[in-house]
Structure 1
Amino acid sequence: MNYTKNSFFLFIALCFCLSLTSAMAQTAPPVTVKSEEVSDGQLHEMAQKARESGMSDEQVKQQALKKGMSPNEVNKLQDRMNVIKNQSNKETESIKKDKNGREIAGDNEKQDDPENGDKNSSGGGGKGGIGSNIFGYELFNNNNLTFEPNLRIPTPRNYRLGPDDQLIINVYGNSQVDWRLNISPDGNIQIPGIGLVNVIGKTIEQATSLIESKLKANRYAIGNGTNVSVSLGNIRSIKIIIVGEVNRPGTYTLSSLSTVFNALYASGGPNINGSFREIEVIRNNMIVRKLDVYDFLLQADQKDNIKLEDGDIVRVPTYKVHVSVDGEVKRKQIFEVLPGETLNDVIKFAGGFSDEAYTATIKATQLTAQDLKIVDIKKPDFGNYVPLRGDKYFIDRILNSYQNRVSIYGAVVRPGQFELDNGLTLTGLINKAAGLKPDVFSSRGFISRFKNDNTSELLSFDIKEIIAKKSPDIILKREDLVTIVSIFDLRDKYTVTISGEVRNPGEFIYASDMKVGDLIVNAGGLTEGASNKRISVSRRVNDSDPSLSNSRVAEVFSLNVGSNFKDGESNFVLMPYDIVSVYALPGYEKQKIVKVEGEVIYPGYYTIQKKNEKISDIVSRAGGLTASADVDGSNLKRDNAAVLGVDRTKSSIDTNSLLQERSDRLKRLQLTYNDSSLQQESQIRNNFVGINLKEILKQPGVGEDLILEDGDVLRVPKSQQTVRVNGQVLFPSVVVYSNGKSFKEYVLNAGGFSAQALKRGAYIVHSNGTVQSTSKFLFFRFHPKVKPGSEIFVPKKQDPKGNITQEILGYTTGFVSLGAIILGILSLKR
């Protein structure tokens, strides 16, 4: 039984109602039974009685309704049973279920679950064990194949009636009657007004005839305007016994429509020792049928899958012969063989050979009294070989080789593999390959061939001589590989190169009779600034005299190709490896842009008008300086002195704040100063050119008045009133500029030097981009003068490890120098 089915809950409730009211039926009128009056213990007790009673749901329902149980109360009991089912461990332990949800009754509770492996039973074969490799084992352990009987089909005509079956008798026509009658344990039905009719053991047809005769005898006009229909209502349950080599032997309660397959499925099917081919159905101590599961698996034949009757015994004996098949077959499993079957039958069980199976011989491993032996079974003996217990058959794969293949590759029209005909020669194979290509190297070809000892040898031949029949043709052998060489395989790849003022410069494949005009067109044509009157072609020389120091290493031709690449020297024929150079027009110049920003009258972008246009000229074109301009702090940014690796086009357009750029640069400089390895990997440069704009404007065209270049940025800041102090000071800050204040005073305004400060390495970055460092003479340090807008930077000390020697050397040098000066002064006095 299954607690998940609503009919089972109804069955329990009705059974309880029946037992509760049976004692009161004769002495008191019907009463309504309340679901609240039924305890959980009583529900469990009624469930047990329901399983033992064998009564159908309809019978219990009819009696319960007569006793006073309302349908509403039945629904309430169903809800309670749903809760009890989920919470009661005792109930779930008393009713075991296998992995397919089938109930295991009675003796089956002690059987091992095949899902976890049957360790204690000879019928084991859990998931992934030997059982799963036995042909047919998964049939009864498959969640998608339940073999449940169909209860909605018309009543089978050969169905034998028995106790607890329900007959539906419908009389229609002149007389109309509808009876639902249950067959008693004695085999009788009680027809109202007629009496008992014994129908046990009869088919539906026989029962219909008997009922018609009884109705006729009681004045029903059967056949004269009145008809009778007899069908089966509720189907009874039967008890069958499953014994032998099954996973869960025991007694099972099944539907009376159940077949042998239904019973086997309920028991988990044969175990690893069970026979799938000689399953017996025993009825009244006689074997009434033997079932071969292979008939169903291989031919979908269910002729022996008979319907079971109450009290039937299904017996699964042990197998007699098991053999296994592996290798190139469609089913690699263990098969059961019956007496009289041969190796051919085993191959059929395995689904036949695979496409690549070697079918001439099957290797069989046999068991002897003491050890194993191998037997080679030839194909003609497949039908005569009788499989023995424990035989293991292995079907090998065909060899990965060809018995009639020759191959040809290289300078032929259709290279590939071909059939080796009788007496096929080299010229015959070339004809099969659609002949030779024009680029064939006809002086020599090769045949790679296996010798008798399986070593390879290389045979060379002259194609031209063989085709002209001046040399004997070569007869080919199995697995010969013919190689016909192309002339292109024996030389470098021919190319020509074009560079300069063309749209797509680069390397191109050389073609015979290629001209300069052809190459220029292939390269996308000339650019706007290209000169078609001066194009040079450089060519390799093969006759250079190595004894002369001035011998030629290349031959250069100067060409005028014209405007349409048709006439004149555009038809100059190129040779392999020529290099064509296209030059620009002498007076062609692309516009060059500079930017002026900051404190000028008209800041913005300006185009350089003359090659020698200078800073003073661009300032004049920008309208001159404003009243708030800081002339001393003006700077020129030029990318050709910028940080290595910076995109010049971006730098010429992106002109962020000078202070931010200087701050970033100082950080990089400090990082580089303190890490010599990083300094070697990434060289940091100042991209600001230190200029003195005041002197430039005083004397235009001389001194520092630089000629402008494309992408230059001239920036004139506002007058600066602060000085930045950064690096190894106690409190990096911005200090107000004061005329006359010294370097140390600005450092003191930032808290003074920190313990890690490298005082001698302190330097100043002025607002115009120039950098001044601290100088030293003997024991005296001279700091640079601080200007408005400057930035003082104090670097960090290096690791003293490894620098002690340098310090000592520096001090020693200083003392020696001082001594030399003193001696010089003394000598002068003398």
Structure 2
Amino acid sequence: MTNKGSFRLLLLLFLFISCFSFTFAIQLKSLRADEGKTPFSNLSDYEKKKILETLKEKEPIPKPKKPANILPEKKVEPARKGAEVSAPAPAKTSPSKLIPPAPSRIENILSGRFPTTISRELKQYGYDFFAKGGSTFAPVTNVPVGPDYAIGPGDQFTVHLWGKAEKTYETSVTRDGTIVLPRLGSLDVNGLTFTELKKFLYHKFKQYYPDFQLSITMGRLRTIRIFLVGEAKNPGTYAVSSLSSVISALSATGGPNKNGSLRNIKLFRAGKQIVSLDLYDFFIRGLKNKDIRLQPGDTIFIPVLGPVVGVAGNVRRPGIYELKGHESIGDVITLAGGILPTGYLQSVQIERVVGHQRRVVVSFSLDSQKEEGHGNLGIPLHDGDVLKIYPVYKGLRQVVYLEGHVKYPREYELKPGMRIRDILPSYDALLPEPYLPQAEIVRLVQPDLHPETIAFNLGALLAGDESQNLKLEDRDHIKVFSRAEKEELPTVTIEGAVQKPGTYRLLEHMRIKDLIFQAGNFKKSASMKKASLSRLVKGKNGTDVTKIDFSPERAMAGLSPDNMTLKPDDVVHIRDIPLYHQALERKVYLAGEFRFPGEYTYSAGEHLLSVIERAGGLSDTAYPFGALFYRESAKGVQKERLNEYINKLEEDILTLGAQSAETALDKDQAAILQQTLSAKKQLLAKLKQAQPTGRMVIDLPQVLASASSSFNFELRPGDRLVIPRRPEHVNVLGEVYNPTALLAEKGKTVGDYLQLVGGPTDDAEEGQIYVVKANGEVLSKSQEGFLGMASWDSERQRWSSGGFYSIKVDPGDTII
């Protein structure tokens, strides 16, 4: 074979071994990870062989069938250092899904939710211990074995020698019950107890080492096989720890089913019954004295459930209990945890099936204060009986109730000869402002206990009137009312310049100063010179209102007569200082090229030039010809005019649309109409997006030159004046050959700038050319007169010669 062929063969062999090892490891990991599976090492030789054959065929591992010689649906780890059967880990629950438990019967009773009937939803007692299918008590996993532990095949332990001999030997018991140790050879230890093993090895090593000490540490313990038969949830053969007991094995395997007995579980060993186990001793009393350790080959037998009785109602643990022998009512009540204090013992019932023919009810008393009640506890119960203990009536007796406007509303014991004053001795028992003219007693009158009301004068009672101190009877309800419940409380109102205007409770001896203080005192805008009080005056023919003026300043100083005593329904009005709020709104804003731009207040009647002077005048770079002036009131007018024009434009569009639909037009007319309609729609869209600015045309140089100028506006709240820097260009826009911005030159006219951009195009409407000045003023060619030989001079308010094209253009102007 060539080297190349050998290399290929080795490579294929390596890949096969790697794949087999990886698959084998994955399968083993799955076996160890899945809860409810037996470790690979605990399987029989036959099962291991089957699994390995399956791995070679690269098929999934078959799940062992039940019953098998492994723990069904449970993971039984090999015992370590005296470990018993491992209990499954509790299932993890997300905190967000946790549901608070329902209140217990005891919690309901003591919280006032008193029972009026009994529940017949009874469960068989004791089976919840096995409900989760596994052990619910902690197994022993890390404790040393006991001195009576019997050594057997599979046990591992370590022998430690110290002293003159320092040796450590690890060994395990073989299947024939022997161990092999250096020097000692093969030794038979099968069946020795842990204590006997120590003595045995000590004597053996003594032959070789004269002075030493010896200790033995158990390592991995062996597993034993047991049988679970009868009425079990999961009958079968199980491999369990050699330290397992009957109860630990039952808890690990799921225990009895509900048709299996809990009180007569039998353990057989070598064909003989070793023990009979009553799980009630463990569940109720915690006793495990008969819970012996299992040995290989033991059989746990669960017989069929014996006679049962149900206990319903007011016992501490209602349920269905299995009888063992001839147990009495008292015995079963003990199993149920005893009777609750709420149980009505004068009439206890038993439902019973008689002669497999009919159901009957037997009633009797369990009242221990009576002789017959004590004797009835010994009555034997029969299979299928249901013992029912009903609750006492929830209503209280020998009690009176205090309710309403009092400090301590509650139940009180009714004592012989008890009267109202025993519960209401003074005003200290009442809340503030009780209604004194009348309180009530609601009494249940015999024989049908219908309610009747008995009124008494609470004020007279507290003043010592014995005629109002009525005698109380069982279940009387004393009701005390508040003054607010039975009469309209007096109020006064304060309005105007106070922090918290509104209606307030009128207290006794309350004055104007007190009311103003309750209302949060004055606002800064309050006038301290004069205020008014409106008062109702009742007369023979009706009610009138009188007005009383007073000085708030004197009232707050406590001076009479201004600080007068208030009466019900008085209305106090605190005035504002005249024009106070208007004065706060007198602000204008100067922005741009001022020496001191900012916000300025102004006095009534002040004009624009005055504020400009207070701002230090204009800066050196200011361009007054381009001043922008904005007014809030103008914005509102512009908005109104814009809306009017938008409405008119919408009507025009609708009219044109109707014309195009109803009128027969030639091709050219239809094209013109469509073009007009499209232009109006575009204009409408732009107008709807436009926002009025409130800008007004202003000739600021004229204002700066003369205070008497019409542009020296009287100021209004919110006015804003913006002065830009001096621009260096003139804009030429629209239908010209080169729309652009040109350098502004002194003395140049409209015609000069049009010449620089090539003049109007052929599509231009020369009669519609106009100039927008930097201050917002507009000059149009349509203003020309006298055959184009004169134009309007807005500065001098007169016509000047030379025509529109001779108008001088200033920096910042726009020719359109």
TM-score with structure 1 setting the length: 0.58
Write the deviation string for residues 257-298 of structure 1: whole angstroms up to 9, x where unpaired. Answer: 222123323432111211122111112322111112222223
Unaligned segments of structure 2, at least 5 residues: 1-15, 29-38, 79-89, 91-120, 368-372, 654-688, 735-749, 752-762, 765-774, 778-816
In structure 2, C-alpha distance between the alignment counterparts of 1:208 and 1:314, rounded to whole Å: 32
Q: Which amino acid aligns with 2:75?
A: G
Q: How far does residue 321 in structure 1 lie from its aligned partner after superposition?
A: 2.7
Does 2:437 align with 1:443?
yes
Query: Corresponding residue for 1:379?
Result: 366
Q: Is the 8 A contact 1:616 1:701 kept in 2?
A: no
In structure 2, C-alpha distance between the alignment counterparts of 1:374 and 1:721, rounded to whole Å: 114
Q: Is the 8 A contact 1:363 1:375 kept in 2?
A: yes
Q: Residue 432 and residue 535 in structure 1: after superposition, are their counterparts in 2 closer, same or farther (change >3 A)?
A: closer
Aligned counterpart for 2:717 among listed residues 705, 710, 722: 710
Q: Residue 396 and residue 593 in structure 1: after superposition, are their counterparts in 2 closer, same or farther (change >3 A)?
A: farther
In structure 2, C-alpha distance between the alignment counterparts of 1:407 and 1:306, rounded to whole Å: 61
Q: Which amino acid aligns with 1:296?
A: F
Q: Which amino acid aligns with 1:611?
A: A
Q: Is the 8 A contact 1:443 1:463 kept in 2?
A: yes
Q: Which amino acid aligns with 2:129?
A: E
Does 2:554 align with 1:562?
yes
| Aligned-partner SS, 1:265 | helix
Paired residues for 1:93-112 under 5 Å: 93=64, 98-102=72-76
Write the deviation string for residues 227-268 of structure 1: whole angstroms up to 9, x where unpaired. Answer: 776776664443322211112222223333222123323432
Q: How far does residue 153 in structure 1 lie from its aligned partner after superposition?
A: 0.9
Query: Corresponding residue for 2:544?
Result: 552
Q: How far does residue 354 in structure 1 lie from its aligned partner after superposition?
A: 6.2
C-alpha RMSD of the superposition: 6.1
Which range moved further: 355-364 or 615-624? 615-624
Q: Which amino acid aligns with 1:273?
A: N
Query: Corresponding residue for 1:495?
Result: 491
| Aligned-partner SS, 1:431 | coil
Q: How far does residue 451 in structure 1 lie from its aligned partner after superposition?
A: 3.3
| Aligned-partner SS, 1:471 | helix
Q: How far does residue 313 in structure 1 lie from its aligned partner after superposition?
A: 1.4
Q: Which amino acid aligns with 2:279?
A: V
Query: Corresponding residue for 1:159?
Result: 149
Does 2:128 align with 1:145?
no
Query: Corresponding residue for 1:402?
Result: 396
Q: How far does residue 308 in structure 1 lie from its aligned partner after superposition?
A: 1.6
| Aligned-partner SS, 1:421 | coil
Does 2:260 align with 1:277?
no
Paired residues for 1:44-443 under 5 Å: 51-52=43-44, 89-93=60-64, 98-102=72-76, 134-139=125-130, 141=132, 145=136, 148=139, 150=141, 152-154=143-145, 156-162=146-152, 200-206=190-196, 220=207, 225=211, 235-325=221-311, 331=317, 333-352=319-338, 364-367=350-353, 369-370=356-357, 372-376=359-363, 378-380=365-367, 383-392=377-386, 396=390, 399-410=393-404, 414-431=408-425, 434=428, 439-443=433-437
Paired residues for 1:9-24 under 5 Å: none
Q: Is the 8 A contact 2:525 2:577 kept in 1?
A: yes
Does 2:588 align with 1:595?
yes
Q: Is the 8 A contact 1:147 1:265 kept in 2?
A: no
| Aligned-partner SS, 1:638 | helix
Does 2:476 align with 1:510?
no
Q: How many residue pairs end up in the alignment? A: 622
Q: How far does residue 542 in structure 1 lie from its aligned partner after superposition?
A: 1.9
In structure 1, C-alpha distance between the alignment counterparts of 2:646 and 2:125, rounded to whole Å: 78
Write the deviation string for residues 122-175 of structure 1: whole angstroms up to 9, x where unpaired. Answer: xxxxxxxx9996524434746663765547514x33334445556877777678
In structure 2, C-alpha distance between the alignment counterparts of 1:49 and 1:471, rounded to whole Å: 96
| Aligned-partner SS, 1:90 | coil
Aligned counterpart for 1:580 among listed residues 541, 562, 572: 572
In structure 1, C-alpha distance between the alignment counterparts of 2:472 and 2:645, rounded to whole Å: 80
Q: Residue 131 and residue 208 in structure 1: after superposition, are their counterparts in 2 closer, same or farther (change >3 A)?
A: farther
Query: Corresponding residue for 1:462?
Result: 457
Q: How far does residue 318 in structure 1 lie from its aligned partner after superposition?
A: 1.2
Q: Is the 8 A contact 2:151 2:190 kept in 1?
A: yes
Q: Which amino acid aligns with 1:135?
A: G
Write the deviation string for residues 783-823 of structure 1: whole angstroms up to 9, x where unpaired. Answer: xxxxxxxxxxxxxxxxxxxxxxxxxxxxxxxxxxxxxxxxx
In structure 2, C-alpha distance between the alignment counterparts of 1:379 and 1:97, rounded to whole Å: 49
Q: Which amino acid aligns with 2:437?
A: S
Query: Corresponding residue for 2:743?
Result: none
Q: Which amino acid aligns with 2:236?
A: G
Higher relative contact order (CA 8 A, sep 6+): 2
Q: Residue 414 and residue 187 in structure 1: after superposition, are their counterparts in 2 closer, same or farther (change >3 A)?
A: closer
Q: How far does residue 513 in structure 1 lie from its aligned partner after superposition?
A: 1.4
Q: Residue 422 and residue 176 in structure 1: after superposition, are their counterparts in 2 closer, same or farther (change >3 A)?
A: same
In structure 2, C-alpha distance between the alignment counterparts of 1:637 and 1:603, rounded to whole Å: 23
In structure 2, C-alpha distance between the alignment counterparts of 1:98 and 1:132, rounded to whole Å: 26
Write the deviation string for residues 681-708 of structure 1: whole angstroms up to 9, x where unpaired. Answer: xxx9998779786899899999999865
Q: How far does residue 393 in structure 1 lie from its aligned partner after superposition?
A: 5.1
Unaligned segments of structure 1, at least 5 residues: 1-33, 55-76, 105-114, 116-129, 644-657, 675-683, 725-737, 740-747, 750-766, 770-830
In structure 1, C-alpha distance between the alignment counterparts of 2:56 and 2:537, rounded to whole Å: 101
Q: Residue 703 and residue 445 in structure 1: after superposition, are their counterparts in 2 closer, same or farther (change >3 A)?
A: farther
In structure 2, C-alpha distance between the alignment counterparts of 1:669 and 1:614, rounded to whole Å: 38
Write the deviation string for residues 186-206 of structure 1: whole angstroms up to 9, x where unpaired. Answer: 767788888987665453445
| Aligned-partner SS, 2:421 | helix
Q: How far does residue 565 in structure 1 lie from its aligned partner after superposition?
A: 0.9
Which range moved further: 191-200 or 387-396? 191-200
In structure 2, C-alpha distance between the alignment counterparts of 1:484 and 1:420, rounded to whole Å: 18
Write the deviation string for residues 397-442 of structure 1: whole angstroms up to 9, x where unpaired. Answer: 5554322332334565655432222222222222288556785544
Write the deviation string for residues 179-230 of structure 1: whole angstroms up to 9, x where unpaired. Answer: 77766767677888889876654534456666777888xxx399x7567767
Q: Residue 270 and residue 426 in structure 1: after superposition, are their counterparts in 2 closer, same or farther (change >3 A)?
A: same
Percent of residue pairs identical? 23
| Aligned-partner SS, 2:467 | coil
| Aligned-partner SS, 2:437 | strand
| Aligned-partner SS, 2:479 | strand
Q: Which amino acid aligns with 2:569?
A: Y
Q: Is the 8 A contact 1:412 1:436 kept in 2?
A: yes
| Aligned-partner SS, 2:440 | strand
Q: Is the 8 A contact 1:147 1:262 kept in 2?
A: no
Which range moved further: 433-442 or 304-313? 433-442
Q: Which amino acid aligns with 1:90?
A: I
Q: Residue 628 and residue 673 in structure 1: after superposition, are their counterparts in 2 closer, same or farther (change >3 A)?
A: farther
Q: Is the 8 A contact 1:540 1:555 kept in 2?
A: no
Q: Is the 8 A contact 2:537 2:546 kept in 1?
A: yes
Q: How far does residue 306 in structure 1 lie from its aligned partner after superposition?
A: 0.5
In structure 2, C-alpha distance between the alignment counterparts of 1:194 and 1:323, rounded to whole Å: 64
TM-score with structure 2 setting the length: 0.59
Q: Is the 8 A contact 1:495 1:509 kept in 2?
A: yes
Q: Which amino acid aligns with 2:275?
A: R
In structure 2, C-alpha distance between the alignment counterparts of 1:535 and 1:98, rounded to whole Å: 95
Which range moved further: 280-289 or 446-455? 446-455
Write the deviation string for residues 54-112 of structure 1: whole angstroms up to 9, x where unpaired. Answer: 9xxxxxxxxxxxxxxxxxxxxxx9xx99x9699863343457764543499xxxxxxxx
Q: How far does residue 317 in structure 1 lie from its aligned partner after superposition?
A: 0.7
Q: Is the 8 A contact 1:135 1:333 kept in 2?
A: no
